[in-house]
């Protein structure tokens, strides 16, 4: 929230503040610290380096308005006096801060590709849809979804998919996510058998249709359950591996 406010009040001043803060943090991290404090400082440095790069990019591009796409494409945090809660904006989307306890954990190094991925996933959520990062192993598909959840303070549960999963098991997972409002990241989704995928696609469609009409309850697998509209469904795929289901 402080970073968003400082940028809106002037790029030159925000640039100086960011450089000064990074200088202080790097001095602190060199000194003997407890493991907890050291992790906290390194996490803040990771985020502030990205903030510095964004400010530098806007400064060099001569951005003069808050409506410029370079600024609009970033995740911006605001405080609402009306609801007494923080909210996040990116492009034309807006999300309430989830207030999920994240703890003192590490953060992902944000690259321009990460920014584009965030933008795609937040747009998908805004349109009441899910996200499907795809790519080779070890490229950060799952970690990007998890880090986006940290940005929005949402609970993210990662499910490792395998050939042994059936539609009943997945249905129970979807039911829990729908009622709690958490995010589910189904890793290696295309390892699931094609016969199971056809049923799972119908289950996902039922949930997304209920979210689209802002339903509070809906019928899922023959039972009426509560629905928290903040839930999200994400799948990651690595089509290059052998034994994968081709869509």
Residues 6+ apart with CB under 8 A from 240: 136
Residues 203, 170: Cα–Cα separation, whole Å: 9
Confidence band (pLDDT; 50, 70, 90) for 187?
Answer: very high
Residues 6+ apart with CB under 8 A from 237: 132, 133, 134, 188, 189, 190, 244
Q: 98-247 is classed in which CATH architecture? A: 3-Layer(aba) Sandwich (3.40)
3-state SS, residue 167? helix
In this structure, what are the phi and psi dihedrals at residue 116, rounded to the nearest 5 degrees?
-65, -35
Nearest alpha-carbon partner for 133 in 206, 29, 238:
238
Residues 231, 180: Cα–Cα separation, whole Å: 7
Residues 6+ apart with CB under 8 A from 50: 109, 110
87-93: long-range pairs with CB below 8 Å, 24+: 88/151, 88/152, 90/118, 90/119, 90/122, 91/119, 91/122, 91/123, 92/126, 93/122, 93/123, 93/125, 93/126
Mean pLDDT, rounded, of the chain: 89
Which pair of structure tokens corresponds to residue 58?
């806007």
Compute the chain's Rg from CA coordinates: 20
In the chain, where the domains are located = 1-72, 98-247
- How does pLDDT run across 111-132, given as a tens digit for each residue? 889 999 999 999 999 999 999 9
Q: How many CB atoms lie within 10 A of CB 72?
A: 15
Residue 148, pLDDT above cutoff 80:
yes
Residue 247, pLDDT above cutoff 90:
no
% of residues, the chain, pLDDT over 90: 57
- How does pLDDT run across 37-76, given as a tens digit for each residue? 999 999 999 999 999 999 888 888 888 888 889 899 999 9
Residue 241, pLDDT above cutoff 70:
no
Nearest alpha-carbon partner for 148 in 172, 170, 124:
124
Residue 223, pLDDT above cutoff 60:
yes
């Amino acid at each position: 929230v402080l970073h968003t406010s400082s940028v809106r009040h002037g790029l030159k001043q925000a640039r100086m503040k960011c450089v000064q803060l990074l200088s202080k943090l790097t001095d602190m991290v060199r000194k003997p610290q407890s493991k907890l404090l050291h992790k906290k400082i390194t996490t803040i440095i990771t985020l502030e380096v990205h903030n510095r790069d964004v400010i530098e990019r806007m400064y060099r591009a001569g951005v003069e308005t808050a409506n410029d796409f370079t600024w609009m494409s970033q995740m911006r945090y605001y405080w609402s006096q009306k609801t007494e809660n923080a909210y996040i904006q990116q492009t034309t989307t807006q999300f309430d801060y989830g207030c999920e306890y994240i703890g003192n954990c590490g953060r992902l190094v944000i690259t321009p590709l990460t920014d584009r991925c965030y933008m795609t996933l937040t747009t998908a959520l805004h349109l009441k849809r899910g996200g499907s990062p795809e790519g080779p192993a070890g490229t950060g598909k799952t970690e990007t979804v998890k880090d986006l959840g940290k940005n929005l303070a949402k609970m993210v549960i990662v499910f490792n998919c395998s050939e042994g999963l059936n539609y009943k098991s997945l249905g129970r997972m979807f039911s829990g996510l729908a009622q709690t409002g958490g995010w589910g990241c189904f890793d290696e989704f295309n390892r699931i058998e094609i016969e199971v995928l056809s049923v799972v696609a119908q289950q996902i469609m039922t949930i997304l249709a209920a979210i689209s009409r802002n339903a509070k309850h809906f019928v899922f697998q023959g039972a009426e359950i509560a629905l928290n509209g903040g839930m999200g469904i994400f799948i990651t795929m690595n089509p290059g591996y052998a034994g994968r289901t081709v869509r």
